[in-house]
Amino acid sequence: MTWSRRRFIGEGSTAAAVAAVWGCAPEGSEGPGAAAEPDALHVPAGPRHLLAEPGPMVPPVPAILLTINGAPGDPDEISVLWTFVVNGDPPQVGVSAGSEHLARRLLEQHSEFVLNVPTASFIEAFDTADMNSGSVADKFALTGLTRGRAVAVDAPTIEEAPIHCECRTIASLEVPPMRKLFIAEVVATTVLEGAVDPAGRLIVPNVPFFGMTAGSGEHYTMGQRVGNIGMTVGRTDIKY
């Protein structure tokens, strides 16, 4: 069987979609999931090799949950898309959606959305949203995440996320063969108390943010492995 990155819900129950959960290696265990001791850190050395398959191996990259209004009569959508910073002043971000993404059609329909910055505490809900299509199931119901509303744009939020970046699309670009890039202005940012200092500076040690290591498909906080892409459907083969 040939798998796409995400398993789209077409058959079976919602319970079946979240039943298989791949566990993370416990803290202190041996193997690729174990955190390295400070004295074990080193810079790789030796000859450079050309990989058989090229890939965008740029770890870590942001792990972000995009929320956007659904089409008329449909539930709101939660999607995991490639996300990046375009500019700091003015604040601008970019998201990339493939032709298979429901979020792409919704981004073309709606000009406003929210980037919700998750934490490792709901890594399984993050992966469940990533692995399942909102065209069939309500992802808020599927993941158990709490639906909220943005303060400056017309879009839903995920209340568990410590940071909401409320965005409005200002440009888009077709990227062959099958992706579309959306550039947006961040028009409002809200945070949970404790995530930033009084000056609005992010306090990274206070919140277990995580990113994906593009090239291995694993999720890490600041050095500790917390999961991998496809963990909720029993997959360990996804790198990007």
Residues 169, 180 contacting (CB under 8 angstroms): no
Residues 207, 121 contacting (CB under 8 angstroms): no
In CATH terms, the fold of domain 60-233 is: Pnp Oxidase; Chain A (2.30.110)
Question: What is the C-alpha separation between 57 and 140, in angstroms, rounded?
Answer: 31
Per-residue pLDDT of the chain (240 residues; tens, 9 = 90+): 444 555 443 433 333 332 322 233 333 434 444 444 555 567 788 899 898 999 998 888 999 999 999 999 999 999 999 999 999 999 999 999 999 999 999 999 999 999 999 999 999 999 999 999 877 789 999 999 999 999 999 999 999 999 999 999 999 999 999 999 999 999 999 999 999 999 999 999 999 999 999 999 999 998 899 999 999 999 999 998
Q: Considering only the C-alpha atoms of the chain, give the largest distance between any 2 of them, rounded to a whole number of Å.
A: 58
Residues 6+ apart with CB under 8 A from 111: 168, 169
Amino acid (1-letter code) at residue 174: E
3-state secondary structure of 179: strand
Question: What is the C-alpha separation between 199 and 196, in angstroms, rounded?
Answer: 8
Q: Is the pTM of this model over 0.85?
A: no
* pLDDT at position 134: 75
Q: DSSP 3-state helix, strand, coil percentages of the chain (rounded to 5)?
A: 15, 30, 55
Q: Where are the domains of the chain?
A: 60-233
* pLDDT at position 176: 97
Residues 224, 26 contacting (CB under 8 angstroms): no
